[in-house]
Copies of this chain bind each other. A is one copy, B any other.
């Protein structure tokens, strides 16, 4: 968890960050505040019973998705777990389709069929949104396999949590990644807790979780995620390793979730962490504030200009909620769509024999 980490060094002058224009830097800020605004609005409407199931909020971790994904090019791909709103907006999905999905509307990114944990945008190289802990880790490997198979120079970023490292599929994936030389970057977003369980109570480790990679002869690194400069500088090394050497990397990025595991956990049940700890992270390690300081220090924006960005983000979020509210629910018939490709596409195969057994 962030507290276990020395304050991040200044990485502003890493070549990859030197490339950033003032506009780029403002856009990074805009993306983080858009994620936060979107999630604050979604929380309001969740509490207002506009949606069902879980709502796993990303607030506090925005710099990780925004920083890492800002490095990606046209053949780079992203896949993550159920805490997927931040990554979705970072890859360029619209607030409208994301909010509508939460409301279960036909205009949602998954037509209302997936919900909060299951956002997808293949056109933006975004492959979800997966609810089974670590279930996405072999899929991320497969994206890297596909890139290599097709002879494309790209990387697959596969995000997982600190609790997910204890699922066997992650380890099988590490062995395969190293053995087959696949361009996958596993990014452990270590927010210190898996639900109500601290890292210490869920995982045995030597210096950190990422170090488990060394048993597979895979390069690994641990660093703080609060400063986008550092996230970009350190992640770029892994992406270049993937692009140029087709070798995997495991990154462990220390971060912190401000809210409950899901809204159901808003009380941080069982007191698994203290109010003080949360407040300290909010006061000292807020990635939005850290980045804001950079922007102000570099004279890239004034307080007022940044306030304006906050306001725009909040307005966009409110409009997306309006959009979601006013969108129709899917038609009952649509329950049987998107089950079989061959049926949806009315191919001969899709018409041959019975596919559904309702009576």
Binding site for B on A (CB under 8 A): 166-172, 174-175, 177-179, 201-206, 211-218
| Chain B residues whose C-beta falls within 8 Å of the C-beta of A205 in the assembled complex | 215-217
14 A-B pairs (CB sep. < 8 Å): A166-B172, A168-B168, A168-B170, A168-B172, A171-B171, A179-B202, A179-B203, A204-B216, A204-B218, A205-B215, A205-B217, A206-B214, A213-B215, A214-B215
* Closest chain B residue to A171, Cβ basis: B171
| Chain B residues whose C-beta falls within 8 Å of the C-beta of A211 in the assembled complex | 215
Identify which of B179, B202, B206 contacts A215 (C-beta below 8 A). B206
| Chain B residues whose C-beta falls within 8 Å of the C-beta of A175 in the assembled complex | 166, 203-204
| Chain B residues whose C-beta falls within 8 Å of the C-beta of A201 in the assembled complex | 179
* Closest chain B residue to A212, Cβ basis: B215
* Chain A interface mostly: helix
Counting every copy of the chain, the complex holds: 2
A312 to chain B, nearest CB (A): 45
Identify which of B179, B202, B206, B216 contacts A217 (C-beta below 8 A). B206
A213 to chain B, nearest CB (A): 8
Excluding A168-B172, A213-B215, 14 further A-B contacts by CB distance (< 8 Å) are: A167-B168, A167-B172, A168-B169, A175-B204, A177-B204, A178-B204, A179-B201, A179-B202, A179-B204, A204-B216, A205-B215, A206-B214, A212-B212, A212-B215
* Closest chain B residue to A213, Cβ basis: B215
* Closest chain B residue to A173, Cβ basis: B168
Q: Which of A177, A201, A203 has the most CB of B within 10 A?
A: A203
In the bound complex, how far is the Cα of B180 from the Cα of A166, in angstroms? 14
| Chain B residues whose C-beta falls within 8 Å of the C-beta of A215 in the assembled complex | 205-206, 211-215
| Chain B residues whose C-beta falls within 8 Å of the C-beta of A170 in the assembled complex | 168
In the bound complex, how far is the Cα of B214 from the Cα of A260, in angstroms? 33
| Chain B residues whose C-beta falls within 8 Å of the C-beta of A204 in the assembled complex | 174-175, 177-179, 216-218
| Chain B residues whose C-beta falls within 8 Å of the C-beta of A202 in the assembled complex | 179
Q: Which of A168, A174, A206 has the most CB of B within 10 A?
A: A168
In the bound complex, how far is the Cα of B166 from the Cα of A216, in angstroms? 10
| Chain B residues whose C-beta falls within 8 Å of the C-beta of A177 in the assembled complex | 204
| Chain B residues whose C-beta falls within 8 Å of the C-beta of A172 in the assembled complex | 166-168
| Chain B residues whose C-beta falls within 8 Å of the C-beta of A168 in the assembled complex | 167-172
In the bound complex, how far is the Cα of B166 from the Cα of A172, in angstroms? 6
In the bound complex, how far is the Cα of B171 from the Cα of A168, in angstroms? 6
* Closest chain B residue to A200, Cβ basis: B179
A201 to chain B, nearest CB (A): 8
A168 to chain B, nearest CB (A): 2
A326 to chain B, nearest CB (A): 46
In the bound complex, how far is the Cα of B215 from the Cα of A177, in angstroms? 17
The answer to whether A212 touches B206 (Cβ under 8 A) is no
In the A-B complex, list the 6 residue pairs whose CB atoms are closest, starting with the nearest: A168-B168, A178-B204, A212-B215, A171-B171, A204-B216, A179-B204
A209 to chain B, nearest CB (A): 9
In the bound complex, how far is the Cα of B174 from the Cα of A218, in angstroms? 19
Q: Which of A167, A201, A216 has the most CB of B within 10 A?
A: A216
| Chain B residues whose C-beta falls within 8 Å of the C-beta of A212 in the assembled complex | 212, 215-216
In the bound complex, how far is the Cα of B180 from the Cα of A203, in angstroms? 10
* Closest chain B residue to A215, Cβ basis: B212
